[in-house]
Amino acid sequence: MSQTKLDQKTINDIVSGVLTDEANSLLAAKDRVSDSIRKTAEVIINHSGKVVICGLGKSGLIGQKIVATLCSTGTQAVFLHAAEALHGDLGIYHPGDPTILISKSGGTEELLRLIPILKEFRSPLIGIIGNIKSPLARNVDIVIDSSVSKEADPLGVVPTSSTTLTLALGDALTAVLMNERAFRHEDFVRYHPGGELGKSLRLGIKDILQPLKNVAVVNNHHTFGEVVALMTEKPHGAALVLSDNYELKGIITDGDIRRCLTTTKDLNTLEVKDLMSKNPVSIPVQAPIQDALTLMEDRNSQITVLPITEKDGKTCTGLLRLHDIYQTKLF
């Protein structure tokens, strides 16, 4: 049985056209929606309860994703199916809960039937609507214009550009709320503890570094032989040069030792200051692991070990190896 083969040039043209059309729809909307998103964010910020998002069909599916994004970033939100709302699900409402109604046409019958009922609940009504002259647009308090000049599919009728824009508008609203609430990484971890994303956010440098007790630590009084012995006993690729109060003064790597072996005839004359690199690159223990990885790899001469300090940037608490980072299997 012969298999159908697709023409690569045709595929390239279609893919390029869809992505270009959808990108243009996003760019065209950016200047016309900021004020309505601000007003929507003010309504949500000034209400102590939840946000209800309501839609039908593909608009409903996009609404569910917006709900998930809001919930994971500190805004209480629930999805209400427009048809089910008329058959008992309106019990989720508390007086004053804002409602975001999503409709491409602005003429969705189930949403229009909800409006007088929601007004009885004193619900501020926001519409993400693709037709700003529609019945729905005339009956809500705030209209977020999600109209597009064309859909991106070959027929120009399947919700493609419009659903992408609606999704992006939900993301923009979420970002505004996050900024207003000063939402932090720590907050996101609280709402998203599971999966690789949760693991990557929960795991910190402090969880994977080599503590000082496991690292070769030397000072200016150690001889070359003593440094080599300590680095052999605790083989993590480097020795940390610290003062009596654990202030980071320098670092001696395996590479430094090898260079000395090839360039120095009388090793007994070497002192720690001759071996070490002064003012080594370091990072505070509070920094994200990603920042440590970038610091080690995104440079002309990559490094495989990194001294870890307290927030003051001076007091050393341990050593982080590139191997320790990759052992997390996050990168």
pLDDT tens digits for range 291-304: 999 999 998 888 99
Task: Check whether residue 147 and residue 224 sit in a common domain.
Answer: no
Question: What does DSSP assign to residue 95?
Answer: T
Phi/psi at 252 (5° precision): -120, 120
Does 320 fall in a domain?
yes
Task: Check whether residue 219 and residue 197 sit in a common domain.
Answer: no
How far are the Cα atoms of 50, 97, 211, 278 from residue 151, in angstroms, in the given order?
A: 32, 33, 57, 60
The predicted-structure confidence for 212-259, as pLDDT tens digits, reads as follows 999 999 998 899 999 999 999 999 999 999 999 999 999 999 998 988
The predicted-structure confidence for 32-53, as pLDDT tens digits, reads as follows 999 999 999 999 999 989 999 9
Q: Which token pair is 326?
A: 């990759």
Task: Check whether residue 253 and residue 287 sit in a common domain.
Answer: yes
Residue 198 banded pLDDT, cuts 50, 70, 90: low
Bigger pLDDT: 94 vs 200: 94
Does the predicted model carry a pTM greater than 0.75? no
CATH number where 272 lies:
3.10.580.10
CATH number where 99 lies:
3.40.50.10490
Angle between helices 254-263 and 224-233 (to 10 degrees): 140
Of 150, 173, 201, the domain-final residue:
201
Q: Which token pair is 138?
A: 């005339």
Note the pLDDT of residue 199: 65
- Rounded distance between C-alpha atoms, residue 242 and residue 279, angstroms: 11
Task: Check whether residue 179 and residue 267 sit in a common domain.
Answer: no
Task: Check whether residue 25 and residue 152 sit in a common domain.
Answer: yes
Of 155, 177, 201, the domain-final residue:
201
Mean of the per-residue pLDDT values of the chain: 92
- How many structural domains are present in the chain? 2
Does 2 fall in a domain?
no
Note the pLDDT of residue 83: 87
Alpha-carbon torsion, ordered 92, 95, 98, 103, to 10 deg: 60
Phi/psi at 248 (5° precision): -70, 120
301: three-class secondary structure by DSSP: coil
Task: Check whether residue 126 and residue 155 sit in a common domain.
Answer: yes
Chain centre distance of CA 149: 31
pLDDT higher than threshold 70 for residue 194: no
Domain residues for 217?
Answer: 205-327
The predicted-structure confidence for 263-289, as pLDDT tens digits, reads as follows 877 777 788 888 899 989 999 999 889
H/E element, 22 = helix 8-29
Of 142, 170, 201, the domain-final residue:
201
Residue 75 banded pLDDT, cuts 50, 70, 90: very high
Task: Check whether residue 162 and residue 129 sit in a common domain.
Answer: yes
Phi/psi at 134 (5° precision): -85, 165
Of 71-80, 109-118, 193-202, least confident by mean pLDDT is 193-202
Which strands make up the sheet holding 51-55, listed edge to edge? 77-81, 51-55, 99-103, 125-129, 142-145
Alpha-carbon torsion, ordered 80, 83, 88, 91, to 10 deg: 20
The predicted-structure confidence for 108-162, as pLDDT tens digits, reads as follows 999 999 999 999 999 999 999 999 999 999 999 999 999 999 999 999 999 999 9
Does 51 fall in a domain?
yes
Does 102 fall in a domain?
yes
- Rounded distance between C-alpha atoms, residue 296 and residue 277, angstroms: 16
- Rounded distance between C-alpha atoms, residue 45 and residue 49, angstroms: 9
- Rounded distance between C-alpha atoms, residue 183 and residue 193, angstroms: 16
pLDDT higher than threshold 70 for residue 97: yes
Residue 196 banded pLDDT, cuts 50, 70, 90: low
Does 237 fall in a domain?
yes
Task: Check whether residue 249 and residue 109 sit in a common domain.
Answer: no
Note the pLDDT of residue 197: 63
Task: Check whether residue 214 and residue 129 sit in a common domain.
Answer: no
Task: Check whether residue 116 and residue 233 sit in a common domain.
Answer: no
- Residue 264: partners with Cβ closer than 8 Å, 6 or more residues away: 270
Q: Where are the alpha helices (DSSP H) in 30-160?
A: 34-45, 57-72, 82-85, 109-120, 135-139
